[in-house]
Amino acid sequence: MGIENYYNYCLSKKGVTEHFPFDDDILVFKLGEKIFALSSLSQWENGRPSINLKCDPQLAIALRIEHDAIQPGFHMNKKHWNTIAVNESASDELIKQLIDHSYELIFNSLKKILQQEIIELEN
């Protein structure tokens, strides 16, 4: 997966916005005010891209066992976040599924009124 595919896939989801809240390097995707994906742009440029994604704790453990490319979230709560090394043993399809899972976890944590506003957004 290339950075453009990652970027476009995250932004294709309803209600998603992009931010740089930490510095000029860490691209953050949010739903409402909650982060669901983040990545270092310089790591993409250096050929070592990775993505931090929120994950159900039990699924996170299983994924880490099954895939060498999936590790506990770097600089994140390791119970709820995974870091996925892009272009290693995790396929593009798996990465998209994990982005979807992270998005859904955040969506489900939002207040119902905000969920409804997002559902009603036009693409």
Q: What is the pLDDT of residue 122?
A: 64
Q: What is the pLDDT of residue 87?
A: 83
Reading the block at residue 120, the tokens are: 């009603």
Residues for the chain: how many in total? Answer: 123
Domain 3-119 architecture: Alpha-Beta Complex (3.90)
| φ/ψ (deg, to 5) at 36 | -120, -15
Do residues 42 and 25 touch, judged by C-beta distance below 8 A? yes
Do residues 57 and 102 touch, judged by C-beta distance below 8 A? no
Q: What is the pLDDT of residue 7?
A: 98
Domains in the chain: boundaries: 3-119
Do residues 84 and 53 touch, judged by C-beta distance below 8 A? yes
Which sign does the torsion angle of CA 69, 74, 78, 83 carry? negative
The CA distances from residue 27 to 9, 38, 40, 52, 90, in Å, are 14, 6, 6, 11, 21
Write down the pTM of the prediction.
Answer: 0.94
pLDDT tens for the chain, 123 residues: list them. Answer: 999 999 999 999 999 999 999 999 999 999 999 999 999 999 999 999 999 999 999 999 999 999 999 999 988 988 999 999 998 788 999 999 999 999 999 999 999 999 999 999 864
Cβ–Cβ contacts within 10 Å for residue 29, how many? 25
